[in-house]
């Protein structure tokens, strides 16, 4: 065996596909070789555990962008010319629709308003 080796592991999604109650925790501007993007962090509730899950969007808001759709799910009004204070939405309850992408990882498909979550008795 060579001095540098590794074991191939299976992909384990952060969350299985489904809808989870969550809160919006943080947004940060980040940069990589492809340019600047926004990193969104949500804290979802799975059973009795808090699970942090992230998503990226372009650093631009128009009525049709993924960032606008996330903000709408948090209750923001998306009107051209309106300034959005992201920190005003920190800790806002919402629901995350989680899907598993083609690589096997959890992905936030959409952010929905918290609404009335009905629990089974």
User: What distance in Å separates the CA atoms of residue 80 and residue 63, rounded to the nearest whole number?
Assistant: 8
pTM of the model: 0.85
Mean pLDDT (the chain) is 91
User: What distance in Å separates the CA atoms of residue 53 and residue 73, rounded to the nearest whole number?
Assistant: 16
Flag whether pLDDT at 105 surpasses 80: yes
Flag whether pLDDT at 43 surpasses 80: yes
Cα angle value 13/16/21 (rounded, 5°): 120
H-helix segments, the chain? 66-73
Flag whether pLDDT at 116 surpasses 70: no
pLDDT in tens, 3-29: 788 888 877 778 999 999 999 999 999
């Amino acid at each position: 065996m060579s001095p540098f080796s590794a074991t191939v592991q299976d992909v384990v999604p952060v969350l299985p596909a489904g809808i989870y109650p969550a809160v919006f925790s943080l947004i940060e501007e980040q940069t990589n070789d492809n340019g600047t993007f926004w990193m969104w962090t949500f804290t979802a509730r799975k059973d009795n555990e808090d699970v942090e899950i992230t998503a990226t969007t372009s650093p631009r808001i128009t009525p049709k962008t993924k960032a606008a759709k996330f903000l709408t799910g948090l209750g923001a009004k998306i009107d051209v010319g309106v300034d959005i204070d992201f920190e005003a939405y920190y800790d806002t309850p919402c629901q995350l629709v989680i899907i598993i992408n083609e690589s096997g990882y959890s992905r936030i498909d959409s952010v929905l308003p918290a609404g009335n979550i009905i629990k089974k008795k």
